[in-house]
Structure 1
């Protein structure tokens, strides 16, 4: 049981677990999840960490559909800062307690500022990492925002 699942159970939020056999050779973890779970890529979201003003000690979470990229200027605007850069994998792992490819927006070591892409608003439910590769959690975007104390903004670009 991952910290993400413990967080959901403790909060008594409705969710569904989706497991699949992770292929270590998969070039993109999120797209692999969408394909193996038979879900449209716009319903499956990836969790990305950014360093605020390039400071590895000031991280934030951006959650975007797996088939899109995080627009760093939009992320900075949503956080009301000048600029952000992608966090180094080791900084993301240290801050969240999860490994890259299995970073969940839920149950992280430390609650980080979190922004969910606005495209989630039109979805009844979305899937995010469950805290390890091969495990996704399906829940409503509103519940995700509530549990992460997150905000919503247009973050994704093609």
Structure 2
């Protein structure tokens, strides 16, 4: 079975995406990793796995700019959830194959709905994200990201 990183590279190559890979010390905080990779914190695609609070189902991978905060009411509305809450670290790793902080803004599971705040892709020509690993980032053309990931574009920030 391939790693999330390998799946990402295969996907980006097959879709002829404009991207580059940046290796760096392991870091999970979006502000610190932005400084390490030389990008603006707002370019960082912060990935937060959410679920329906009532039944622990209805997975939504909410993607927002690294310098913004998540609005759970907006996530619930975008994902058709009664009330959204964060997945536990164990649930996030089970559902995405990645530890928290390493989850990329892509989903390889049909169970997870991908919702992206439009502010992420409107502000910068490139987005940056940890590529399934805490020590490796990808900087990807924003228009290629939308074309390949085909997310639901809905506001999810406070």
For residues 69 and 31 of structure 1, what CA distance do their matches in structure 2 show? 13
| 1:103-134 C-alpha deviation (Å, 9 max, x unpaired) | 1123x441421111121223211112211002
Alignment-derived partner of residue 124 in structure 1: 125
Q: CA deviation at 1:53?
A: 4.5
Alignment-derived partner of residue 35 in structure 1: 35
Alignment-derived partner of residue 78 in structure 1: 78
1:5-154 map, 5 Å: 5-23=9-27, 29-106=29-106, 108-111=107-110, 112-120=112-120, 121-154=122-155
SS of alignment partner, residue 70 of structure 1: coil
For residues 64 and 10 of structure 1, what CA distance do their matches in structure 2 show? 25
Structure 1, unpaired ranges of 5+: none
Q: CA deviation at 1:67?
A: 2.2
CA RMSD of aligned residues (A): 1.9
SS of alignment partner, residue 90 of structure 2: helix
For residues 35 and 137 of structure 1, what CA distance do their matches in structure 2 show? 14
TM-score by length of 2: 0.84
Q: Is the 8 A contact 2:50 2:84 kept in 1?
A: yes
Q: CA deviation at 1:31?
A: 1.5
Q: Is the 8 A contact 1:104 1:130 kept in 2?
A: yes
Structure 2, unpaired ranges of 5+: none
TM-score by length of 1: 0.84
SS of alignment partner, residue 9 of structure 2: helix
For residues 81 and 142 of structure 1, what CA distance do their matches in structure 2 show? 28
**CA 1:63 to 1:138, structure 2 compared with 1: closer, same or farther past 3 Å?**
same
For residues 114 and 83 of structure 1, what CA distance do their matches in structure 2 show? 17
Alignment-derived partner of residue 4 in structure 1: 8
